[in-house]
Amino acid sequence: MVAKLTQGFWPKVARLMLRNRILILLGIIGFTVFLALQWKNIQFSNTEVNILPDDHPASIRYNTFTQIFGEEGNAIVLAIRDSALFTPENFNRWNKLSKQLEAFPEIDFVVSTDNLRVLEKDQDQQAFVMEPLIKENPETKEEVNKLKNHLLNELPFYDNLVYNPKSETIQTIAYLDKDIMSTPVRNEFILNDLGDLVKNFEEETQMDVRVSGMPYIRTWNTKSIIDEIGIFIVAALLVTSLIFFFFFRSFRATFISMFVVIIGVMWAFGFLGLLQYEITILTALIPPLIIVIGIPNCIFLINKYQQEVNKHGNQALSLQRVISKIGNATLMTNMTTASGFATFIILDSDLLKEFGIVASINIIGIFTLSLLIIPILYSFMPLPKTKHLKHLNKKWMDLFVSWMERMVRHHRIGVYITAVAVLVLSIIGIYQIKITGSRIEDLPKNTHYFKDIRFFEQEFDGIMPMEIVVDTKRKNGATKPATLRRMNQLGEVIEETPELSKPISLVNLVKYSKQAFYNGIPKYYQLPTSQENTFIMDMVSRSSSDDNLLESFVDSTGQTARLTTFMRDVKIERMEEIEGDVQQAIDKFFPSERYDVFMTGKALLFLKGTRYLVKNLLLSLALAIGLISLFMAYLFRSFRMVIISLVPNLLPLVITAGIMGYLGVPIKPSTILVFSIAFGISVDDTIHFLAKYRQELTANRWQIKKSVYAALRETGVSMFYTSIVLFFGFSVFIISSFGGTKALGGLVSATLLFAMLSNLILLPSLLLSLERSIANKQVLKKPQIDILPKEDNLKDK
């Protein structure tokens, strides 16, 4: 029943389109203008997307932490490792830079040598006072050296916070206003104001300033993504148009195809604006992705039009047949491609959900544009000339098709042996794959901010914050000696871990108080004994508190304290080991009946998010395979045909996974995406081939071999064309500076190339070898939908 409906549906669509072509073109123009007006709503991501859902335990813990202590990643760090800094001119210029920073409204406060406070004991008042480290600007080298010696050798509180005693690197920390952290104001300040300040300083002093911090990295990362969108679009248009022209040798066909995909790109940006989704590293791929996926649609439609013109020379009949015969086939293949992307929608990750929604909508959109624009534009143009049809009879193409036919006809055993051998080798390779990755692994390696990340890792043991929250379950419990001792013991474990920086907590402040109590002698920088604690706390009670300093370590009630450390860029396996070691120390030092202690921070969110994402993307791949299998079962109404159709599409995925194992490419969010995307696209060729095969069986009265070879000759050329376009189209992403995008492009390209060979050689071989099992009227029942209508079998007079 459905088949009959669809059989009559597409000829009606063809007549409707060609009779109302002006109206349809005006409709496309109007809708394109409407979507173009939505571009103003496009926003670039200013926040770091949390991959985890809001109800995940790690997200809940992080939100609890930010409610108490606020945003953790709001610090921008500037550092200099240069002995030339310790001259009066340069040292004072460095302090001036800190003052300039603090003058900006975007900056909350600055910690630097310019405004460092030294905790001292007031003998008269028997209280602690905070005195400035620098009372007057030094004018001589000796004065600078004296300040330097005081800072590096006598103020351990600032060790690893403001200076590195080994390399004598000096650091300034500028804390951004938390209200602008997720706004474009942050980006404007970092790219313009901060950039100008640093540039002027470097020109005046001839010293190299290193800049980093999570806001700084995110801003430059966003800028890199924006810059690459334009490069990808231009590269994708250039590559696909050149390949298209090489195949068709027609400027007209090339320009029409480019016109279609450019409109598709405009729609892609329009839908992003309409849905008010941000441009992220994934959604930035959609415009060039639409070009790469849209060109094969153009190839199928234009190739069919030229074939029809070559047969009978009747333009009206040719255009009608293009729509009625290819319309359904391209709809089915675009639906399977869209299904591969749509599986991301079920995931809890907003990042992937938005990518799946926009990609699947735009794939259907580019199908609609291709089907509407190409026949209508050709209807206004003269018939293609003989030179434009020469590509239909290319000798090298005939040689390729003959080679495939020869392989299928005479070397099927060799094909199976090769397939099994490759499968075995691939499975061995799969066992070598590791699920890994790191926080900055996919960032552009040749950028200044990536090099600066490595600098700060070397000098200050990392920039990724890891927080430990200690809830003592009682007011002022954080300042009790027992709690401080336990936090100090935990800090020692952290300090012994080479990938973690020295922890910063209330313990450091209490140690500094003891040092001040003993007149600043560095050896007394340690926790006070019980007896000393009484005197010291008595002096603290009489001291004027520095709210900024204290509120960084403990909440307003004194019940909850934080311990902050920073993690180097490490692989996920090592990150998990570190988490396990720290958790073991927490369990040892903090009894659960007295303390509620948990770890959080961006470093752990990344760890949990990566594991969560890989698990869900594997689920997405399984769903894509299941969904497309059901789709094909509905089309062909044959379980055996579904199994046979899956083999040539799953084998390339296994081969790619094996290659990843041998090359040491890990499973991580950026590489696991490959499989769902590639499977959704590669199955298109299978649908085209099997639809033509089923049709040939009916026309040739169930003569198996004749039908297979006819289907191979008919669909082989188009499958080759589209696969080559897809291969080079996805290869465009290899030029990306982002490791994840580069891996995505290379792996999808390789998978689609394997899929083409598998569909053109292995699939027909299986059909011939299993002909008795599958090629009969009981197994190949009439499909629910005629992908290729019956008229295709009629001979043209």
Half-sphere exposure of 225 (CA within 13 A, CB side): 24
Predicted confidence at residue 350, as pLDDT, reads 77
Distance CA 79, CA 171 (A): 4
Predicted confidence at residue 488, as pLDDT, reads 92
Structure tokens at 616: 């869900």
Place of tokens 């496309």: 28
Structure tokens at 551: 């509120």
* Low pLDDT (below 50) residues in the chain: 1-6, 546-547, 778-780, 784-785, 791-797
H or E stretch covering 649: helix 639-663
Distance CA 151, CA 162 (A): 9
DSSP annotation of 524: G
Predicted confidence at residue 796, as pLDDT, reads 38
> CB–CB of 568/441 below 8 Å?
no
What 3-state DSSP class applies to 120? strand
Q: Which residue(s) pair with 128 in the sheet?
A: 121
Amino acid at 670: S
Amino acid at 311: K
Distance CA 589, CA 492 (A): 12
Q: Which residue(s) pair with 122 in the sheet?
A: 127
Nearest to 207 by CA among 86, 75, 96, 77: 86
In this structure, how many other beta carbons lie within 10 angstroms of the beta carbon of residue 492?
12
End-to-end Cα, the chain, rounded Å: 30
Percentages of the chain per state (helix, strand, coil), in multiples of 5: 70, 10, 20
Q: Dmax of the chain from CA atoms?
A: 115
> CB–CB of 112/162 below 8 Å?
yes
Distance CA 558, CA 547 (A): 13
Predicted confidence at residue 330, as pLDDT, reads 79
Nearest to 451 by CA among 79, 49, 47: 79
414, with CB counted inside 10 A (0-12, 13-18, 19+), is exposed
The phi, psi pair for 768, rounded to 5°, reads -70, -40
> CB–CB of 680/721 below 8 Å?
no
Structure tokens at 458: 């070397």
> CB–CB of 733/745 below 8 Å?
yes
The phi, psi pair for 383, rounded to 5°, reads -60, 150
* Backbone Cα Rg of the chain: 33
Nearest to 173 by CA among 76, 108, 309: 76
Nearest to 118 by CA among 106, 129, 102, 104: 129
In this structure, how many other beta carbons lie within 10 angstroms of the beta carbon of residue 122?
14
> CB–CB of 229/89 below 8 Å?
no
Listed in sequence order, the residues at least 6 apart from 89 whose beta carbon sits closer than 8 Å to its beta carbon are: 205
> CB–CB of 470/598 below 8 Å?
no
Nearest to 629 by CA among 652, 654, 650, 646: 646
Predicted confidence at residue 470, as pLDDT, reads 93
pTM of the predicted protein model? 0.76
Q: How many residues does the chain have?
A: 797
Label residue 276 left, alpha or beta by phi (over 0 means left) and psi (-120 to 50 means alpha). Answer: left
Helices 21-36, 350-379: axis angle to 10 degrees equals 150
> CB–CB of 178/70 below 8 Å?
yes
Distance CA 218, CA 463 (A): 13
Structure tokens at 642: 């579904």
Q: How far from 666 is each of 430, 437, 528, 654, 672, CA to CA, in Å?
A: 10, 7, 49, 14, 9
H or E stretch covering 75: strand 75-80
> CB–CB of 681/726 below 8 Å?
yes
Q: Torsion angle, CA of 511/513/515/517, rounded to 10 degrees?
A: -140
What 3-state DSSP class applies to 569? coil
> CB–CB of 652/754 below 8 Å?
yes
